[in-house]
Structure 1
Amino acid sequence: MERTCYIAVLLCTTFVCITQSTTLREDDFMPPKPVLPPIDPLRTIRPPIDPPATRHPASTEIPRSVRPPVSLGHPLDLAFIMDTTGSMSSYINIAKANIRKIVNAIVRSSQSRVRLALVEYRDHKPQERSFVTRTHDFTESVETMKTWLDNAKAQGGGDTPEAVADALNEAAMLSWNKESTKISIMVSDAPPHALDPSMDSSFHNGCPNEHDPMQTVRELAKFGITLYTVGVEPSINKYKDFFEALAYNTGGQYVPMRNPYQLINVIIGGAQEQLSLNEFTSEVRNEVEKCVADGQEVDESAIAQTVYQRLNARGVQTKHLTKNSKALEGPSSTAKLLADLSSMADVRKKIGNKFTYVPIRRYEGRSRKGHSMRVSSSSLRSRPTEPEFHRVSSDISPRYFGRSYDRRVGPKLVGEYGVEPRYISHRRKGYSGARSHAKSPREKFTTVESGVSLDQIERLVKKETARLK
């Protein structure tokens, strides 16, 4: 009996051990069950993703291979129209060294998707034998744009006038996006052909390709393209009213510049201002179209006042490009008169070959006398006789007005005007239009946000009415 009980206990123990061993072996082949962490009610909502502006602060360098950040903001097409003759080396070098900074600043402020284009221009034969224009159509790649600027060399030029008309025509032919804010920025220190025949040794009657700047800017306006003209002073002073008129016809601005280091701030500020004004374009257009539909005369001043008062009552805020903390001067009365003309032939009839001169500030430490010549606005209101105009005194050096000297040589940058600017190559002596930063008058361009101005609305109205002509 005892033996039977012993055997029974032994069999039960063996069965239990075998069962446990089998269970363990089966568990070894089973995948482990995932262990879920306890749910934290404070973390059930996913935190928002920071926009590109906060992910890439200004102090952090974005890798070179990265394109401009893509965002949901309004797209921007930005075209540079640059005089690449021998006098413009410092401006070209400043642009190529800072193109990434320009794009990043625009993207951070407006969350826009930016495309870039470049139009280089020089002159026609026999004054220039390299090229008249060289066009690089839109790209989203900052690296590609930088390569174009790296390959842009400041040289040549010949006489004073340059192929401004051809450059504007090339800009109009770019592949602009219909849905984008469209801005072109022209940087120049010389007039187009036919504006001042006394300084034109080859094409007194205008562009040999028959492009007319006054007609082209109206085409730009019809396409919705805003033109900013950056005038390199003092070289451009004689033709300032003309370049003001070009910009005014497209709703843009003329920006006077002596310090090439401020070019970056002008480009960024101009783009920011236009992007902020973009939302009011349709409101201005509706007012203009309403006048046309009613058969009324389009009174630009009245329309501007109406829209301005409406926006001002709503407390609308916009960006403003300022110089030394003040608003830009805006177009002169002469520039506004020129803007209504339809061709260079009409401009020549109004201006002729005669100019008045207006004193300008001298550079510190410079012994030469400096004057600026602008067209007398009163002379355009009636047919002038001789008395309203004066010839420029003979003691003004032609080096600064019209630059009849060889532009491929220019004055020395070191020694004559002090310390050489950082980005000016030692191998080129092209006169930049601005001396060293230390010697030039103080100027600083900044962008501020404040209430919409009447001048901004007037520019939008002018752009819309130019589309009708």
Structure 2
Amino acid sequence: MERLRRWFRQRKEGAIQGQGQVRLVDLVFVIDGTGSMSDDIEKVKENLDIIINTLITELSRRNIPAQIRFSMVLYRDHPPEDSRLVEIPVTWTTDINEIKKHIKSIVVSGGGDTPEAVGDGLKAALELGWRGDHRVLLLIGDAPPHGKRYHDGRCDDRWPEGCPAGNDPCEVAAQLYKQGIILFAISCHGIADKAFKMIAEAAHGYFLSIRDARQAIVTKILELLRVRAVAVIELDEAIIICFSRVGAVKTRADVKRLCELISSMINRPVDPREVARRMMALIERKKIDKRAVDTGLLFNITKHGL
């Protein structure tokens, strides 16, 4: 184990100094496309343009090797409030000019009652097919979701019991978190603040007002890229090495033993929930043999711990 620890320290130092291969960043914009956004949409477009430009410039300036894939989801509302529930103008692109073109061409209209299909927009984003090493979602809107718990009955709501399709935004936000997606909930109006704070909390993400969003998002993404990159590389490599020693993870005792080995290797405590999340990501990337793992057990540990 001591020899493995020395080898691992050398790998970690190399990662910190050079940070090696190019890392893929998935960045998705989920935007309220209804008519109530007409007062804010130009400011949103301007801020997104600046976020993209600043992010690209800072990645280059700080010598962080990363490629960004962009996608965008526009959500409106359920019929009969609106005939266009969700639109995906661009699925994935690495072309900055293409994503800017789609952002610039957003036309807001419709929407009906005050709440909108926020949960459906998040659900569409969840199902986009994320594969980045780092995954970031910006939720931008000026209205709460359907369901009186999100607005305390302070606005007209055709579906006061919640989303008619069953896509509760906090439940979807929790699923985003499990997929390693970092959510920024950006409110453009005070009436959306409570709901967007709830969504951010469910995703273990960040709530921002439109006034504060621009610099805070760029700073946080750069911070995540530099800090989490080394931490994730470190943890992933330790998991793979220690998993080969454990042989299989079928019981909670196996998970406990795996976490003990990982802690010994990297000289710090590890959260079993984070280990379980990273293991599921490694299984998806075929770095760990799925047949040797009880994925249902891992899923339960991500939710409830060991």
**TM-score category (smaller protein):** 0.5 to 0.7
**Whose helix fraction is larger, Structure 1's or Structure 2's?**
2
Query: Which residue of 75, 84, 92 corresponds with 1:138?
Result: 92
1:225-244 to structure 2, matched below 5 A, reads 225-237=181-193, 239=194, 242-244=195-197
Deviation at 1:197, TM superposition (A): 6.4
* Contact 1:184/1:227, CA 8 A, preserved across alignment: yes
Query: Which residue of 39, 44, 61 corresponds with 1:92?
Result: 44
Structure 2 residue aligned with 1:196: 151
Deviation at 1:154, TM superposition (A): 2.4
Whether 1:272 and 2:107 are equivalent positions in the alignment is: no
* Contact 1:169/1:216, CA 8 A, preserved across alignment: yes
Question: Structure 2: how far apart are the matches of 1:255 and 1:92?
Answer: 13
Question: Structure 1: how far apart are the matches of 2:77 and 2:57?
Answer: 33
Q: Which amino acid aligns with 2:222?
A: Q
**Structure 2 segments unaligned to the other structure (5+ residues):** 1-19, 244-248, 257-266, 270-298
| Superposition TM-score, scaled by structure 2 size | 0.63
**Structure 1 segments unaligned to the other structure (5+ residues):** 1-70, 298-308, 312-463
Structure 1 residue aligned with 2:303: 468
Deviation at 1:103, TM superposition (A): 4.2
Residue 92 of structure 1 aligns to a residue whose secondary structure is: helix
Question: Structure 1: how far apart are the matches of 2:301 and 2:184?
Answer: 16
Question: Structure 2: how far apart are the matches of 1:85 and 1:230?
Answer: 16
Deviation at 1:276, TM superposition (A): 2.7
Deviation at 1:225, TM superposition (A): 1.0
Deviation at 1:140, TM superposition (A): 0.3
Residues 249 and 96 (structure 1), Cα distance of their counterparts in 2 relative to 1, 3 Å cut: closer
* Contact 2:73/2:125, CA 8 A, preserved across alignment: yes
RCO (CA 8 Å, sep 6+): is it higher in 1 or 2?
Answer: 1
Structure 2 residue aligned with 1:104: 56
* Contact 1:82/1:188, CA 8 A, preserved across alignment: yes
| CA deviation string 1:126-179 (max 9, x = no partner) | 2223x21111211100111012112211233322211100011011011211x5
Whether 1:185 and 2:138 are equivalent positions in the alignment is: yes
User: Moved runs in structure 1, 4+ residues, more than 4 A?
Assistant: 281-287, 294-297
The structure with more radius of gyration? 1
Residue 268 of structure 1 aligns to a residue whose secondary structure is: helix
Residues 170 and 149 (structure 1), Cα distance of their counterparts in 2 relative to 1, 3 Å cut: same
Question: Structure 2: how far apart are the matches of 1:127 and 1:133?
Answer: 13
> How many correspondences in the alignment?
226
Deviation at 1:190, TM superposition (A): 1.4
* Contact 1:99/1:142, CA 8 A, preserved across alignment: no
Residue 468 of structure 1 aligns to a residue whose secondary structure is: helix
Deviation at 1:202, TM superposition (A): 1.2
Question: Structure 1: how far apart are the matches of 2:162 and 2:135?
Answer: 27
Deviation at 1:191, TM superposition (A): 1.0
Quick one: percent identity of the two aligned structures? 24
Structure 2 residue aligned with 1:83: 32
Question: Structure 1: how far apart are the matches of 2:109 and 2:26?
Answer: 28
Structure 2 residue aligned with 1:117: 71
